[in-house]
Structure 1
């Protein structure tokens, strides 16, 4: 696994996050017939909340981001993107594990949604998420506090 760090996001990060979102989501959105070059960036810019977002850096360079937005009955895990060349080497799992440990300590339910057919779904399911509902585009997942998956067992 590469050396990585996580830091609080700022409003200055919005363009880098919007660009990464467009790159990461493009294959799934194209497969679903829903890719629009401007819309994919605009939706991120419209929903970006730096106070609930962290930036992932590898070697001091921007590599990804994740948001954990508090809501009435749960926290929503959103905007979890990692540069494609860094996917699959444990960084995303480590970041997710850290966020979920925090939610477990606080007794907080976590929700998220992924696009139908997204390989990211397997990561979430390994960490204790289960399908709550789905539609033709999105799969909505939920994780009860303390519901660790096999990839999140104590060492």
Structure 2
């Protein structure tokens, strides 16, 4: 798998907003809350290219993630794969890069997932623990695995 996380530019915002709406559609439709424009605007409202990484496979845009500082921790604010790239192990490969970065920094990662989303199982499989259940979302934490770091 030729996976790379690449820097993002402000010019990528509109394309990423479209990708988010496409990726979120099935989960939001299941709970009767899909609104493509709202899905786009949620990303665009707080878009920060400096915290956004493009997920590329073989040079193609497969998805993106936003990992921003939050107090002394990290917030995985967005993490989406285009439906054509899902169920291939790409999400797991990308999250492993994020987890390694957080471990190296000894940072906790916070993330939220829509209640009926497949993302809930994904985050649990990758070491996140449920912190809170809200009206529409589950909120998780993943503590740094500092003991598993390699010695240099």
1:88-136 Cα offsets, whole Å, 9 max, x none, are 1111111101111111111101000000011111111111101100112
Structure 1 unpaired stretches of 5+: none
Q: State the 1:147 CA deviation.
A: 8.1
**2:144 — aligned with what?**
145
- Asked whether the 8 Å contact 1:110–1:142 carries over to 2, the reply is yes
2:67 maps to which residue?
Answer: 68
CA distance in 2, matches of 1:73, 1:126: 24
User: Residues of 2 paired with 1:37 and 1:55: CA distance?
Assistant: 21
Q: TM-score of the superposition, structure 2-length normalised?
A: 0.91
Separation (CA, whole Å) in 1 of partners of 2:23 and 2:79: 10
Q: Is the 8 A contact 1:53 1:66 kept in 2?
A: yes
2:9 & 2:122 partners in 1: Cα distance? 27
Which residue does the alignment assign to 1:130? 129
1:91 aligns with 2:104: no
Distance 1:120 1:41 in 2: 19
Secondary structure in structure 2 of the residue aligned to 1:33: coil
Runs of 4+ in 1 over 3 A off after TM superposition: none
TM-score (norm 1): 0.89
**When the two structures are aligned, how many residues end up with a matched partner?**
149
- Are the aligned partners of 2:102 and 2:144 in contact in 1 as well (CA < 8 Å)? yes
1:18 alignment partner in structure 2? 17
Unaligned 5+ segments in structure 2 are none
Query: What is the CA-CA distance between 1:22 and the residue it aligns to?
Result: 0.4
